[in-house]
Amino acid sequence: MTSPRPEQEFADRRYRSPAGIAGGVLMLALAGWLGGDAVARGEGRTPWLALAGLLCVVPLIIAFTLRPAVFAGASRLLVRNPFRTITLPWAAVDAVRAGYSSEVLAGGSTYQLWSVPVSLRQRKRAARAGGEQQAPADQTVSELQELAERGASREDAKGEVVVRWAYEVLAPAVAGLVLFVVLLVVG
């Protein structure tokens, strides 16, 4: 086991939605079952329409359920949303907050944290319990805000916000949609 570097104050952290992952796995299983059945037993155009539909739907299921994640490191925050990946050096982060959704404010822009869902029910439950107890999303936002404040002064935490589109999700979904429409039109 290697020891952390001296300048590293904390290990990289990952935040994901367990309910989102479970829902995504179930939806992929259902899509695979129904699509596989249509491909195996379908007649005429049905197998091709099913394959085109799967090509369109599977990347979208992955994008909205399995892909979202937030990675907090010593020098930056990486937000992986369904269609974009945002890299935020800690010095560029103005605030992390949770209202009806979790958000990071940086450089005059607001970025949603898809993998940190806010539950008003959990907030009410935590408020009833009293004390220092917080809802999971509020606890995560507090941790991220603390990391932003600690990491902002680091030399390697400076830089610009970088936003990259997730073409690996968009391209197959659009290709599947176009193929599906062409198959419908051609008849």
Return the pLDDT at 11.
59
Find the helix packing angle between 120-129 and 136-151, rounded to 10°.
90
State residue 165's pLDDT score: 97
pLDDT at 1: 46
pLDDT at res. 48: 95
Q: What is the pLDDT of residues 123-146, one digit of tens each?
A: 899 888 877 888 899 999 999 999
Identify the CA nearest to 148 among candidates 103, 109, 95. 95
pLDDT digit string (tens) for 143-161?
999 999 998 888 888 999 9
Rounded distance, CA 176 to CA 53, Å?
6
What are the residues whose beta carbons fall under 8 Å from the beta carbon of 109, sequence distance 6 or more?
161
- Looking at residue 10, its pLDDT comes to 54
Spatial contact of 63 and 83, defined as CB atoms under 8 Å apart: yes
pLDDT per residue rounded down to tens, the chain (187 residues): 444 444 445 558 999 999 999 999 999 999 999 999 999 999 999 999 999 999 999 999 999 999 999 999 989 999 999 999 999 999 999 999 999 999 999 989 999 999 999 988 998 998 888 778 888 999 999 999 999 999 888 888 899 999 999 999 999 999 999 999 999 999 7
Whole-model pTM: value is 0.85
